[in-house]
Structure 1
């Protein structure tokens, strides 16, 4: 896999696993339905059956998704990891990669057949259903005994965000735990048209940049979608979507009053602006049906800019994936919400017979730099070499490059604590300090930690989701007239039951707020 495709591969993997929730109603951790141990407030025992006889070596299986599961160097990586884990925690590991496209099916089969899994990646989109099905162990006691490295690296602000009914069943990886929203623009066109990036502070400012590029590049639509089957509002949010956007919290607060996004004045203002841009020729004509990736559109000269969730290093990451230099400009504050925190996590399956050893190894994934970098980069001297005089900076060994390396695992965001990972020469050596500061600077949604359980309104949820699928992309890419189509959209939402969903979400949010009073 080439270096420029690393970011794209990471995004593809994360998206594939998230989408495999197939109709899930969250981007975080829905509360479990009644009848499960999570809903009753009686978490599954966290230590039962897990204690090892003193001095006995244990082997744990670590299961995670990969786009390609053919990793020839995996046995060598395992052996190197085991030298460390055996000495430190009397445990060896077996790394088990599963194709991301088969992740849900295969892991469900493993649960059903009681196949060994001691530690597993947990996607935020699947988390609540896994807890509801009693597939994950409550981690609170194990974290207290063996998880100091996890707790200190994740931090007090975020370690408890995945709580469901008072118990933590998975811990977030250490990465970007918040996001801001803004725009990514091709650097060559920014320079060609003397666009003052720092002066872009509002959508109208951005519109002026689009106008300049449109005027100079004949037959060219500068604004493209942030992804296939994505609208502009998928890359630009000013509200907490509370997991699914069917009932949102404007400005991440709104006095904890849930509203129907599509009836708000702000939504109408945005889709009206997009419609004007579309009519002015700023937007790709087939934006609502486009099947070409954003990176390919930029790479082939068919686009200038797109909306995106931002973080430190985003311009470098996107530029490598697109094959052209880009610049990023924030338009919103940095915000943390349930979905940004729970997007990538780790948990201990109920199948585990070695729960204490699993937690001890998980703690190493958050605290041991050698283990993190074995997972992220491979073996020193074979897959990478340290750069003299630059602490934490690496390069490929002589005769090896990104295309020829025999170990390329672009999943630093997944494997525990990314802030312990080396950085590749040519990148920003200070990126993890910047990311840490970014996370710590984030404003917190007033509902951070809340997760909606759609079970009481599952019929309405399905019906409303179908309506949204019909109208969202045309409206949010400017492809249709909102004066005509938005009232029709709202009417169909109401007929499908959006008001009942909003009321149920409000009820659950009120209950959550009562149980979790603000400090």
Structure 2
């Protein structure tokens, strides 16, 4: 379906470009000197995913005043919550409607499909001219991971942490009360006696651990073995994710906790884990972690929370594709848009105008790099900084760890890199393979929460899941993915050898077929 849509979009954008002469206009604009302030003012229509802010108009005015003597541009910010954003932008893209800059990702606005279809501008071709500093901020793997099939880069990744790990977020006061050191508990099942003690002695915590489909015990399995759509990379192989003993055990652990009364009865249908933590109804939860994560989630609560990492830090899958800015192929001035993005990612004044608003009106400065948000402020976009631009020049708040930026950079520098992070399955336009992928996605979404949250017996569900998965062509899909993955691995012999050595240690493997490194 995506391949058919991509073809439709490619035709649509070709017609639009030819019909309105936009291609010629863009070509003329791309001669703009990046070292000069243009005489003509250009309005940049910028679409962002995030909660609309009440006082956006005054912030836009401040941004425009600041940009006047730098690139002579004005900015119109269109901020929307995720659901509205996805619907609105997909409609605009499919219709070939004009916009300048937008947030995109591999999971939002189909970065790869829309890039191949011609919906986005190939800004990577102009990094050296218009975005020399912001493009140099990127890790090479970030840029490589967003290179599409034509070899071009169509987005600028948001400069932030691109690695993470799994661990506990928990009530520190309760842990201190019972002498619990969360670093001692590397698995969910090992924590069971602790949770039973809390359940017996804390009346408000009858269900002391909480999760939903996205934070159930299975996320520990996924951290240890890189997951990609319908396959799992384990020991440099592609296998059926649901058919692994690790996944089955994670489902069984969730079921045991449910039957033991340690997790809420409506776990299958509710998604209120963070709210229950804030209300003091549970002791802990599993979560993807990074430095400062607990402060982000629990800024204003009545309880003291802490975090404890329990897995090794690992660079994310497709590290550049999780959050980026793209320029539309319909933009009338991509050069000015790129100059704006260069400023946004290198100029703390501009970046913090976008994130926090106006100093003295929306926030007060405590020191050079720290701010205090004014109570009742009518502008604060900081919760969505991860979707905007360079997070390392965003001011910290008085509630943040003063070393947050340094710790995030250290996380990036020291995180483990899997060779599979840069692999992307190619359906090659094969209609049968496209249909198989679509059916497998539907099947997976039907059974994942049922099998992993513990509310139902996972045994029969896993059997039914695997039967439907096989009937939909899952084995053929894995076979094709395996072929592509083996060819991909041959490009990275050094990384393959590193992975082999790691897995020998991790899984106690005595020998390994080294044919892929020959």
Deviation at 1:501, TM superposition (A): 2.1
The residue aligned with 2:168 is 183
From 46, 57, 60, the equivalent of 1:63 is 46
Matches within 5 A, 1:11-30: none
Matched, 1:395 2:368: no
Matches within 5 A, 1:145-160: 145-160=129-144
Deviation at 1:239, TM superposition (A): 4.2
From 280, 295, 302, the equivalent of 2:281 is 302
Q: Pick the structure with greater CA Rg.
A: 2
Deviation at 1:515, TM superposition (A): 5.6
From 79, 83, 86, the equivalent of 1:97 is 79
- Aligned residues of 2:147 and 2:154 also touching (Cα < 8 A): yes
Deviation at 1:303, TM superposition (A): 2.0
The residue aligned with 1:15 is none
- How far apart are the structure 1 equivalents of 2:206 and 2:386? 36
- How far apart are the structure 1 equivalents of 2:276 and 2:54? 34
The residue aligned with 1:447 is 420
- Aligned residues of 1:452 and 1:508 also touching (Cα < 8 A): yes
Deviation at 1:347, TM superposition (A): 1.0
Deviation at 1:453, TM superposition (A): 4.1
The residue aligned with 1:380 is 359
The residue aligned with 1:316 is 295
Deviation at 1:172, TM superposition (A): 1.2
Deviation at 1:459, TM superposition (A): 2.1
Q: 1:56 to 1:104 in 2, by over 3 A?
A: same
- How far apart are the structure 1 equivalents of 2:135 and 2:492? 20
The residue aligned with 1:504 is 480
The residue aligned with 2:122 is 138
- How far apart are the structure 2 equivalents of 1:489 and 1:225? 22
The residue aligned with 2:452 is 476
Q: TM-score, normalised by structure 2?
A: 0.82
Cα RMSD (Å) of the superposition?
3.1
Matches within 5 A, 1:454-465: 456=430, 457-465=433-441
- Aligned residues of 2:215 and 2:287 also touching (Cα < 8 A): no
- Aligned residues of 2:168 and 2:285 also touching (Cα < 8 A): yes
- How far apart are the structure 2 equivalents of 1:470 and 1:409? 35
- How far apart are the structure 1 equivalents of 2:412 and 2:27? 35
Q: 1:64 to 1:243 in 2, by over 3 A?
A: farther
Q: 1:123 to 1:75 in 2, by over 3 A?
A: same
Q: TM-score, normalised by structure 1?
A: 0.82
Q: Could you tell me which runs of 5 or more consecutive residues in structure 2 were left unpaired when the two chains were aligned.
A: 11-16, 18-22, 496-518
Matches within 5 A, 1:208-357: 208-217=193-202, 220-226=206-212, 231-234=216-219, 237-244=222-229, 246-250=230-234, 254-255=235-236, 257-289=237-269, 291-320=270-299, 324-357=303-336
- Aligned residues of 1:62 and 1:117 also touching (Cα < 8 A): yes
Task: Please state whether the residue corresponding to 1:142 is helix, strand or coil.
Answer: helix
Deviation at 1:378, TM superposition (A): 0.9
Deviation at 1:297, TM superposition (A): 1.7
Deviation at 1:35, TM superposition (A): 10
The residue aligned with 2:101 is 119
- Aligned residues of 1:57 and 1:92 also touching (Cα < 8 A): no
Q: Could you tell me which runs of 5 or more consecutive residues in structure 1 were left unpaired when the two chains were aligned.
A: 1-22, 25-29, 38-43
Q: Which has the higher helix share?
A: 2
- Aligned residues of 1:231 and 1:288 also touching (Cα < 8 A): no
Deviation at 1:132, TM superposition (A): 3.2
Q: Per chain length, whose mean CA-contact separation is higher, i.e. which structure has more relative contact order (CA < 8 Å, sep 6+)?
A: 1
Matched, 1:203 2:180: no
- How far apart are the structure 1 equivalents of 2:137 and 2:70? 19
- How far apart are the structure 2 equivalents of 1:154 and 1:458? 32
